[in-house]
Structure 1
Amino acid sequence: MEAEYDFSQGKRGAIESTPPGKTRITIRLDDEVLAWFREQVHLAGGSSYQTLINEALRQHIQQSREPLEETLRRVVREELKRIEK
């Protein structure tokens, strides 16, 4: 270990820069919720649980914007496809 270190060229902040269109935040999730997402990623063969959480939130937003009539039509179509198989 050196007696002194030179930090004059050091940069403050995250080691990895955040890609465009993404924002780094801190969020508190229940342990059970986080464990479920991590387990899903593990069962799928690996990936990022954060990506899976992001996708779940996107789907929720899309469904929230969808009028009730469209939601019912979508669900009926999905169920009819399932029954036909």
Structure 2
Amino acid sequence: MASTDRARSRVGRRILRVSAILLLVIAVGIPFYVCPQADSPRHADAIFVLGGYGFERYRLGLELAQQGWADRVVASNPGGPDNARLTWY
């Protein structure tokens, strides 16, 4: 009986530790994921546009360059040269 009480106690402490760590991670992470800091644009050496769904991000990168935020735009083209829309840019 004493060994089962000890085992239950160990399991209880382990659950308590994991719960405390999880609560800490959530409490620390909320400001970063729920209310992230958004800096205003500033001049840079280049604008990097990472590929993904849709083409609006490429247009935004070009618009930022036309507004003078950077002299160069570096865009990824995950579709390769077969992607006519991105090759056009």
- Alignment TM class, shorter chain as reference: under 0.3
More strand by share: 2
TM-score (normalizing by structure 1): 0.25
